[in-house]
Amino acid sequence: MAFYSAEEQTGDYLFKIVLIGDSAVGKSNLLARFARDEFYPNSKSTIGVEFQTQKIGINGKEIKAQIWDTAGQERFRAVTSAYYRGAVGALLVYDISRRQTFDSVGRWLNELHSIIKLLLFLEVQIEIWHRESSSCSGGSSK
């Protein structure tokens, strides 16, 4: 069940979107980057669910995207699947550096099939990019 505050209901449109995928694929960092322009290289796994509301202006209309970041661990699956209700879409995220997260895509699709009609696929390289840029940022000595 989705609960919306009075502030969230004042926009022209409000869309609930869920981020799903295995644990540690970058869902929380994807949301942090989109909603707050932040990145946490040592972020911890989400427990349960968290959400952010982001306002977007399109053709003079205010669109509010309420993006829900769900836990990817199997032990939270029964709880987090309840948060899919009322969603108009989902971002199914996997980590291209971890093949098993891609192998789980079919399972996630089966879970969502009867609930959500629009799915977007996104390959996340955030963690890889950050590690590579961190290792190169030390400079070189001559």
Average pLDDT score over residue span 69-78: 64
Task: Tell me the three-class secondary structure of 74-91, residue by residue.
Answer: HHHHHHHHHHHCCCCEEE
Mean pLDDT of the chain: 73
- What CATH topology corresponds to 8-136? Rossmann fold (3.40.50)
Highest mean pLDDT among 74-78, 88-92, 114-118: 88-92
pLDDT of 12: 82
Instruction: Pick from 53-62, 75-84, 117-126 the range whose average pLDDT is largest.
Output: 53-62
Tokens of 61: 């209309």
Q: Which of 9, 19, 38, 137 is nearest to 83 (CA)?
A: 19
Mean pLDDT, rounded, for 123-138: 48
End-to-end, the C-alpha distance of the chain in Å comes to 60
Domain range list for the chain? 8-136
Q: For residue 52, what pLDDT band results from cuts at 50, 70 and 90?
A: confident
Helices (H), the chain: 27-36, 77-80, 99-103, 105-112, 126-136
Look at residue 110 and tell me whether its pLDDT is greater than 60: yes
**29 against 65, higher pLDDT:** 65
pLDDT above 90 for 43: no
